[in-house]
Amino acid sequence: MTLEVGTILLFAVVAAFVLYKLYDVLGRRVGRQPEDVERDLQARSAAETPAPSEPVRTEVSGLATLKSRDPGFDPVKFLEGAREAYQTIVKAFAAGDRAALKPLLAAAVDQSFEAAIAQRESEGRSQSAEFLQSPRADLERVDVDGDQARARVRFLAELRTRSKGPEGEAVDDRRTAELWTFERTIGAADPTWLLSRVEAAEA
């Protein structure tokens, strides 16, 4: 009888632990919410900041450094602007709209996009893109190198592209995951963050 009671108590403890872990997982929000962005980055920055005896590496504690140099920097507002820029750039690139792209791209990216657009035009192809829903944007990292600030953003999006070419027309629905790096010069009169790098990312 004592053994049975002990077994029941053991099962009860195990069940309680499993239920607790299940609640812990299901009770979490999926993805970072806008209000979480600054808190998460500040925590990461504080955790990575070197000890006082070590030289300060601004590329590690980038958010704190950027905010000290540019107190008006707001990660939430930055993400809103980055999301708008992302949608504008994707649509303009698909449409071959050079005028819309140029003010938003760093020189190297502008050259790369121009080459791709020119190649597409030479093949007699055209394209358009639309977002099936508002893309998700997460601020991954902020770095400061001298007067140059860089912010890396992860975008998750669902796109529908329509293309026309010598072989006919096609429609493609797909999900994309990319890391975009934006940069600007701290203290410059122009507040625009320019797209300086695009990388594929895991969803």
Domain boundaries in the chain? 31-200
- pLDDT tens string 1-47: 444 434 434 344 334 433 333 333 333 333 444 444 455 545 544 44
Q: pLDDT grade, residue 198 (50/70/90)? A: very high
- pLDDT exceeds cutoff 70 at 51: no
CATH of domain 31-200: 3.10.450.240
Query: How far are the Cα atoms of 107, 117, 120 from residue 66, in angstroms, in the given order?
Result: 23, 35, 39
What is the percent of the chain where pLDDT is above 70? Answer: 70
In this prediction, residue 19 carries a pLDDT of: 36
- pLDDT tens string 125-162: 999 999 999 999 999 999 999 999 999 999 999 999 99
In this prediction, residue 39 carries a pLDDT of: 53
> Of 22-31, 68-77, 88-97, 176-185, where does mean pLDDT reach its minimum?
22-31
In this prediction, residue 202 carries a pLDDT of: 83
> Of 45-59, 82-96, 166-180, where does mean pLDDT reach its minimum?
45-59
- What does the pLDDT average to over 96-103? 97
Local structure of residue 171 (DSSP, 8 states): E
In this prediction, residue 33 carries a pLDDT of: 43
> How many helices (H) does the chain have, and how many strands (E)?
6, 5
- Integer Cα distance of 38 and 52 in angstroms: 23
* Contact partners, residue 105, CB within 8 Å, separation at least 6: 89, 113, 194, 195
